[in-house]
Structure 1
Amino acid sequence: MKMEEDTRRCPKCGNANIISDPENGEHVCSQCGLVIEETPIDMGPEWRAFTVAEKNSRSRTGVGSSLALFDKGLSTVFKGDRDASGRKLNSEARLKMDRLRRYDNRSKFDETWRRNLSIAMAELDRMSVNLHIPSNIKEQAALIYRKALKADLIRGRSIDAFVAASIYAACRAAEVPRPIKKVSQASTRDHSEVARTYRLLIKELKIHMPVDEPTKFIPSIAAKLNLRRDTEQKAVNILQYAKTKQGLSGKDPRGLAAAALYMACLANDDKRIQKDVALAAGTTEVTLRNRLRGLEMSISRAQPVQPMMDMLVSVPVAP
């Protein structure tokens, strides 16, 4: 018999530890033994189904509401080719229903904000597929866009740019690694406009973004370079070690990840040229060399007497 704790209180003794017994359908106080409830409401359907097709045909509800749909999935859609009894309509009634259907479709877009959302959610759906965005991030991006629309930030500006900025903001907030360059490439707008719109979005909506950790970019860059697992782990250890020496603050996380991987490649004899590492990280060779110099200085300040290769090999392994 499976017992579960309930969050309610006993009306007799006030004890908060209520035991739920789903097999007997009872809720019992663990202290005084009072049966608080013995006939719980069954929230399931009243019908039975033994196949998927039978379940779909008997279900009387649709999918849940979604912010990623312009109408949240709550609009009513009617086919207009059959009557209430399921009989086919005659030609005159069918023409009348066709006219009603057209009027209904027009009424859904009679306001500017509805047309705006229709265009934006279609673009959001397209970009989410191209960027392989999870559904929860897509919902969050739709929420951010709706807030921007409600704050009247989109008037006179590009809808596509705000959609791209909302996706990037949602990814940053959830710490999903999608660089803004990649988001811009999937968008119809250029990188500078998407970046400018993102800054406006963050400022006006007062969204606080977490700082990107360079270690979360290590797996994707290492996969592009086809590096060994020990090299990837060495790069993570280098970044963790440099972080203890205050060597990561204020630097581009992708550049730091690329520099740590390059150092790990040298230490583990899994060599790659700087051009390939920078290309895989989506940064430049100049940035890679600058971040590499910064990491070397952070490590050498801790152990200045050892040569660089020895220091790389002696970086402590993460537990």
Structure 2
Amino acid sequence: MYRQSYSKRDGGIGSCPECGGRIVSECEVVCRDCGVVLDASPTDRRPRPTRPQARDGGRATGAPLTPVHANRRLSSYIGRRRDARGSPVSPRARRQLERQRTQQRRAARGANKQTLQPGLAEIARVCAALEATTTVRESASVLFRQALAENLLYGRAYESIAGATVYLGARRARFVRTLTEVASVSRCPNNSVRRDVRFLQRELAITAGPISPVAYLPRLQSTLGVDDRLLRQSRQLLGVVTERNLHSGRDPKGVAAGAVYTVARLEGGKTMLSQREVATAADVTAETVRTRFDEFEPLCPDVNDRDGTRTPSSTGAHGSGDTQTADGD
């Protein structure tokens, strides 16, 4: 291996000790003319891109920025008694590092950042308790930063705002979690989280469309322990409900619960479910399930025509009398 000096810059110009040709440094330091290898394992000093192209036209390096951290993962750690190599620093250098830590601490603890740090930590805790995805946590963190920038946290608990942003982030990401579930793991009562959800929607002009009733079916199946056949028929019934526009203006949880209860009621047998069981699993009232049953029961012949099977009639209808199901004949 040659020990002569040469330029190690990318594409740098140097002279080859063999032929005097131009030296280039890519994966290896080689001569472009004769091909002699001068250094087989050089240090790659080129920037490593983390995304295809930066906004300013240059290459981006380092870890990607993320809104889930208060400093967006840009902070640096200043040691106390040892440097980066592990060697002890002199007393003069220690005093200088202490002054630098003080300035960094002051810069990181502004008026808004004192609330930002615990707020993002609360969002992380709630998302972990709900087993939410990274997308939900990032969306909630962005909403919390927007609320903080608009000075919307004055007079309100940051725990309640954090719970509201998690719920809105879940709605944006189509992650099925009810407001009661979010409030149950939050440090604020349900009414406070619900109030702040409406407050953020109004002040930040957040438009989060309702979740489809079909998205609640897997959760109801898991909670109630029903089989796949009942779930498939419930999905077909919801398709007819959507075509008739009977889901408009109604809680999607109640629509899904009504579909599951209707199919289970008409099937009978081991799949028989009570209104209270379905209402508890869907976080709605039993009256909502009963009302949806009255609306969805006449649609069962259309479901039977699609499925190619007939739904057996059930006895013991809700209320006082028996309910005869339509067989589509």
Q: Same fold (TM over 0.5)?
A: yes
Question: Is residue 224 of structure 1 aligned with residue 205 of structure 2?
Answer: no
What residue number does 1:125 align with?
124
Q: Deviations over 1:113-140 (max 9, x none)?
A: 0111111111111111111111111111
What residue number does 1:89 align with?
89
Q: Is the 8 A contact 2:213 2:253 kept in 1?
A: yes
Q: Deviations over 1:21-70 (max 9, x none)?
A: xxxxxxxxxxxxxxxxxxxxxxxx928xxxxxxxxxxxxx7632210111
Question: Is residue 257 of structure 1 aligned with residue 256 of structure 2?
Answer: yes
Distance 1:311-1:233 versus aligned 2 partners, 3 A rule: farther
What residue number does 2:286 align with?
285
What residue number does 2:247 align with?
248
What residue number does 1:157 align with?
156
Matched letter for residue 89 of structure 1: V
Q: Partners of 1:308 and 1:261 in 2: how far apart?
A: 16
Q: Partners of 1:185 and 1:283 in 2: how far apart?
A: 15
Superposed displacement of residue 86, structure 1: 3.8
Q: Deviations over 1:263-319 (max 9, x none)?
A: 22233342222222111111221221122222225558999xx996686876xxxxx
Q: Is the 8 A contact 2:297 2:325 kept in 1?
A: no
Compare 87-96 and 294-303 and name the one that shifted more: 294-303
Question: Is residue 65 of structure 1 aligned with residue 65 of structure 2?
Answer: yes
Question: Is residue 141 of structure 1 aligned with residue 140 of structure 2?
Answer: yes
What pairs up with 1:20-31 in 2 under 5 angstroms?
A: none
Q: Deviations over 1:235-257 (max 9, x none)?
A: 11111112222221111111111
Matched letter for residue 278 of structure 1: A
Matched letter for residue 214 of structure 2: T
Is there any run of 5+ residues in structure 2 with no aligned partner, and where? Answer: 1-42, 46-60, 305-310, 315-323
Is there any run of 5+ residues in structure 1 with no aligned partner, and where? Answer: 1-44, 48-60, 315-319
Matched letter for residue 174 of structure 1: A
What residue number does 2:318 align with?
none
The number of equivalent residue pairs is 254
SS in 2 for 1:112: coil
What pairs up with 1:1-319 in 2 under 5 angstroms?
A: 46=44, 63-83=63-83, 86-89=86-89, 93-94=93-94, 97-98=97-98, 100-109=100-109, 111-268=110-267, 269=269, 270-297=271-298
Q: Is the 8 A contact 1:246 1:298 kept in 2?
A: no
Q: Which has the larger radius of gyration?
A: 2
Q: Partners of 2:83 and 2:221 in 1: how far apart?
A: 61
Q: Deviations over 1:170-228 (max 9, x none)?
A: 11112111111111111111111111111111111111121221110010011111110
SS in 2 for 1:260: helix
Task: Tell me the C-alpha RMSD between the 2 structures.
Answer: 2.8
Superposed displacement of residue 81, structure 1: 2.6
Matched letter for residue 156 of structure 2: R
Q: Partners of 1:249 and 1:85 in 2: how far apart?
A: 65
Q: Is the 8 A contact 1:221 1:280 kept in 2?
A: yes
SS in 1 for 2:250: coil
Q: TM-score, normalised by structure 2?
A: 0.69
SS in 2 for 1:76: coil
Q: TM-score, normalised by structure 1?
A: 0.71
Matched letter for residue 276 of structure 1: E
Identity of aligned residues (%): 25
Q: Partners of 2:313 and 2:172 in 1: how far apart?
A: 37
Q: Partners of 2:289 and 2:298 in 1: how far apart?
A: 14
Matched letter for residue 46 of structure 1: D
Q: Partners of 1:240 and 1:274 in 2: how far apart?
A: 22
